[in-house]
């Protein structure tokens, strides 16, 4: 099994998070002051978005730093999952902000007020500058990092919020349609709701040891069965430690004990090089073991049992050959 250290210099995503936190924090103070002065729901809601973005980025930074700690006897898999927990917290934070924005917009919709559009435009253009810089820094790293992606969505919400403020100010200035402020705020709240559910869903899937997205366990199992000397592959499991780092384990039954070392090496290299697993654990067996206590966790045996259930017992081995362990 390959060894991978958690410790080291701060990754590029970490530097991007720190810079984004500072930029967003300074902008929040300015935006909140303008929002309180003008009374704009769009500005105030975006200020809350900005505050949530600061909190979200800080959560991501803390989670990333914790995840770099090495494994120990109490946490044999290390602290990788701290990043996923951070993403889950950020998703919950986004969900709360989405509901708050929708509620604020609904309350204001019944009683829209006239807004000072000049300050709104200035604060929005200032926000766009800081948000474009932050998005540029974080965009690449967020593609393969759920923790950074959760923080990125906080920045995206402030970016879109700034655009909405500009649209709101222009519509009010040229048409006098005051309801545009709460309407656009509520519409953006729905977008945030959708984004938050996506982040939460993915984080929960990882924490529940779900199969990594894009991993076809059936194809991986078939690939292993196709290796010379393999009679059966069962107790197949694949899960995510943290974004971009997937683990795999399986039991492999073979017929030639003398070739065990070669088989193990070939299977390991196949799984790490062809299928991209970060950590691999394989148990080699030469006979069917009594694993009835864990049969409910063996998806291969469960599938085989469903296929064989209609056959008489004396015909099952004929149907499945050496791959069947009663």
pLDDT at 282: 95
CA dist., res. 235 & res. 296, Å (int):
10
- Measured CA to CA, the distance from residue 162 to residue 157 in angstroms comes to 9
List beta partners, residue 284.
252
| Structural domains of the chain in order of their starting residue, each with its CATH number | 12-208 (1.20.1510), 217-315 (3.30.70.1350)
Q: What percent of the chain has pLDDT over 90?
A: 19
Residue 8 has pLDDT above 50, yes or no: no
Euclidean distance between CA atoms 12 and 54, whole angstroms: 18
- Percentage of the chain with pLDDT > 70? 83
What is the DSSP annotation of 8-49?
Answer: SSPPHHHHHHHHHHHHHHHHHHHHHHHHHHH--HHHHHHHHH
Query: Which carries the bigger pLDDT value, residue 216 or residue 312?
Result: 216
For 207-246, b where at least 16 C-beta lie within 10 A, e where not — what string?
Answer: eeeebbeebebeebbebbeeeeebbbbbbbbbbbbbbebb
pLDDT at 266 (0 to 100): 93
pLDDT in tens, 86-96: 889 888 988 88
CA distance readout (Å), 16 to 20, 58, 155, 198: 6, 12, 12, 23
Q: What is the pLDDT of residues 200-253, one digit of tens each?
A: 998 999 999 999 988 999 999 999 999 988 988 999 999 998 878 899 999 999
Mean pLDDT of 55-70: 83
Question: Are 281 and 249 within 8 A, CB to CB?
Answer: yes
To 5 degrees, how large is the angle CA 162–CA 165–CA 171?
Answer: 145
Q: Which DSSP string corresponds to 206-273? A: HHTTPPPTT--HHHHHHHHHTSTTEEEEEEEEEEEEETTEEEEEEEEEES-GGGHHHHHHHHHHIIII
Among 158-162, 178-182, 290-294, 312-316, name the one with the lowest average pLDDT: 312-316
């Amino acid at each position: 099994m390959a060894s991978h250290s958690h410790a080291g210099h701060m990754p590029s995503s970490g530097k991007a998070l720190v810079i984004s936190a500072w930029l967003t924090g300074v902008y929040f103070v300015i935006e909140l002051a303008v929002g309180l002065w003008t009374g704009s729901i769009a500005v105030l809601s975006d200020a809350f978005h900005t505050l949530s973005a600061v909190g979200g980025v800080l959560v991501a930074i803390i989670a990333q730093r914790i995840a770099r700690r090495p494994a120990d006897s109490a946490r044999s898999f290390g602290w990788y999952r701290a990043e996923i927990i951070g993403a889950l917290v950020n998703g919950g934070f986004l969900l709360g902000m989405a509901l708050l924005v929708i509620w604020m917009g609904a309350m204001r919709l019944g009683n829209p007020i006239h807004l000072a559009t000049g300050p709104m435009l200035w604060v929005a253009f200032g926000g766009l500058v800081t948000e474009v810089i932050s998005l540029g820094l974080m965009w690449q790293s967020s593609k393969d990092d759920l923790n950074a992606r959760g923080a990125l969505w906080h920045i995206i919400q402030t970016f879109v919020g700034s655009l909405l403020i500009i649209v709101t100010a222009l519509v009010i200035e040229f048409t006098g349609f005051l309801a545009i402020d709460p309407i656009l705020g509520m519409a953006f709240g729905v977008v945030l709701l959708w984004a938050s559910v996506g982040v939460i869903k993915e984080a929960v899937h990882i924490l529940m040891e779900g199969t990594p997205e894009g991993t076809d366990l059936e194809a991986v199992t078939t690939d292993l069965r196709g290796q010379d000397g393999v009679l059966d592959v069962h107790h197949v499991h694949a899960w995510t430690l943290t974004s971009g780092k997937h683990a795999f384990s399986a039991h492999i039954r073979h017929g030639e004990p003398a070739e065990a070392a070669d088989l193990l090496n070939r299977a390991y290299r196949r799984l790490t090089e062809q299928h991209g697993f970060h950590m691999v654990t394989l148990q080699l067996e030469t006979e069917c073991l009594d694993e009835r206590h864990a049969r409910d966790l063996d998806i291969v045996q469960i599938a085989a049992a469903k296929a064989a259930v209609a056959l008489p017992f004396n015909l099952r081995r004929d149907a499945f050959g050496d791959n069947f362990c009663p």
